[in-house]
Chain A
């Protein structure tokens, strides 16, 4: 599972728990059951506005049991360890450190390429494309199914469709072919800087139209 999937799953779980708890307390506190004439089942928690948030019965139900505190401590420890792992996963640099290259001629050879080298090669190929001002390339996904992610700053007034076509036929196809990979898909994120300074100077009579 990718990091994004894990993040969305856990955010969903936390959000659902918060939402359910909040709605339960609100429904009980505002006496929605009584007003709407709904009769919740007997095990339904928090039904009366006059009851405390945590009742005495639920506080003392298991405290006397010998297994209660070990279970609480073990459960909390597991939760803390899991959250710590989740947090560390956010701080890690994503993407593989190496890419596995296919070696059909020599079956015994395991050839791997450093991700950084590939990123720099694609970057230097892409930065010389027309209308490109700046480019940054990252490799994402796993080392067997790598995917390029390029962020490009285009010159003002450039043609994004032509830029995408140039990137597809140039750096992306070149990298895929020279590495011998069956496929190397790419994401291209194009940004455009707002305005040309020389245009502003030339048409100083007019107020420079601005992106607002």
Chain B
């Protein structure tokens, strides 16, 4: 597990250090497994119960009789069958995706420190950048969105976006992510930049960072 050797720091790209290969953590998929297992248990258990009931001389339950009847009479081009098959195929593709994709998209791995594999959550990176930007002069309003590959910052106020970008890039580099994020700073609302006044601050727009 100790990926201490990492990838040798060969030829660092122009902005920031080169990415380091770290083992990406994989989600255990407990919730998905619980839901799927519960549904399968209900279906298979109900079927088993009913098959045994019929074998021991009882009547088949209405739902099973209906289901067998529908399956035997409805043709493949019946809309209900097509919709059911489409839903099944989409659901199956989604489960397959859950089985293969690593998950844990909210965590960004840091460079390894010895045998400690650290990761920081994306909302945490956003909070660090926001706290830093709030101390910069001329920043009245900003919106930080941290993706898995880049950070988008929309800025309002008389601040110079290039200097803000420089300062925030320093802050982002201090996080020492294993795979450094791109940082884009742009001005939001040119109207506000033209006439800045203390009252002229729109409410921050809500949204998801993680």
**Chain B positions within 8 Å of A84 at CB level:** 41
Q: Give the size category of A's interface with B.
A: 35 or more
The 0/1 profile, CB within 8 Å of B marked 1, for residues 157-172 of chain A is 1111101110111001
B141–A18 CB distance below 8 A: no
Residues of the B chain whose Cβ atoms lie less than 8 Å from the Cβ of A19: 88-89, 92-93, 96
Min distance, Cβ B68 to any Cβ of chain A, angstroms: 8
Query: Any chain A CB within 8 A of the CB of B190?
Result: no
| Cβ-defined contact, B93 with A15, below 8 A | yes
**A-chain residues with CB within 8 Å of residue B77 when the two chains form the complex:** 29-31, 49-50
Report A-chain residues with C-beta under 8 Å of the C-beta of B37: 10, 83, 86-87, 90
Provide the main secondary structure of the chain B interface.
Answer: helix
A172 touches B116 (CB 8 A): yes
Chain B contacts for A111, CB-based, 8 A: none
Binary A-proximity of B89-110 (CB < 8 A = 1, otherwise 0):
1111111111110000001001
Please give the distance in Å from A80's CB to the nearest CB on chain B.
5
Contact B28 A15 (CB under 8 A): no
Interface range on chain B: under 10, 10 to 19, 20 to 34, or 35 or more? 35 or more
Residues of B near A94 (CB, < 8 A) are: 28
B29-A7 in contact (CB<8A): yes
A76 touches which of B51, B114, B123 (Cβ 8 Å) = B51
Q: Which of B70, B75, B91, B207 has the most CB of A within 10 A?
A: B75
Q: Which of A1-52 contact B (CB under 8 A)?
A: 2-4, 7-12, 14-26, 28-31, 46, 48-52
Assembled-state Cα–Cα distance A26/B32 (Å): 26
A188 lies within 8 A of B116 (CB): yes
Give 20 A-B pairs besides A7-B32, A83-B40, A207-B201 with Cβ atoms closer than 8 angstroms. Answer: A7-B29, A15-B97, A16-B92, A21-B89, A21-B92, A29-B76, A30-B77, A53-B75, A53-B76, A87-B41, A90-B33, A90-B34, A184-B115, A189-B120, A190-B110, A199-B131, A206-B140, A211-B144, A212-B143, A212-B145
| Closest 5 pairs between A and B when the two form their complex, measured CB to CB | A22-B89, A18-B92, A15-B95, A19-B92, A192-B124
Ordered by A's residue number, 20 sampled pairs between the chains whose C-beta atoms are within 8 Å are: A4-B28, A8-B100, A10-B33, A15-B91, A19-B88, A22-B86, A25-B85, A30-B82, A50-B76, A51-B76, A69-B55, A156-B131, A163-B118, A164-B113, A187-B25, A187-B118, A189-B119, A190-B110, A192-B123, A211-B126
- Which A residues have a C-beta under 8 Å from some C-beta of B? 2-4, 7-12, 14-26, 28-31, 46, 48-54, 56, 59, 69, 72-73, 76-77, 79-80, 83-84, 86-87, 90-91, 94, 147, 154, 156-161, 163-165, 167-169, 172-173, 176, 183-196, 199, 203, 205-212
